[in-house]
Amino acid sequence: MSTFMRTKMQVNKVERHPGIDVITCNAVCRSMSYPEDGSDEDNTYAKFSPNGALSLTIANPALVGKIEPGQKFYLDFVKATA
């Protein structure tokens, strides 16, 4: 399988509950501080996916408590076969 699309997301909010975390993310966006030549990676991602939001509940014990606001992650879209 190959990646169909990749976007870059930033965690804005983490709600911690017993045994689960609920994270809210948004696509990285353009800022006036990014260089016009596109040499900043966030600027490049924002050009092609300028807006997006994701809310995800995490119940995997190995991941609960590991994700923090401000962290950035790549989100890969891979076509499911089934």
What does the H/E/C string look like for the chain?
A: CCEEEEEEEEEEEEEEECCEEEEEEEECCCCCCCCCCCCCHHHHHHHHCCCCEEEEEECCCCCCCCCCCCCEEEEEEECCCC
The structure's pTM equals 0.81
Confidence of residue 14 (pLDDT cuts 50, 70, 90): very high
Reported as a single tens digit per residue, the pLDDT across 41-75 is 888 888 788 889 999 999 999 999 999 999 999 99
Break the chain into its structural domains and give their ranges: 3-78
The torsion angles phi and psi of 24, rounded to 5 degrees, stand at -120, 130
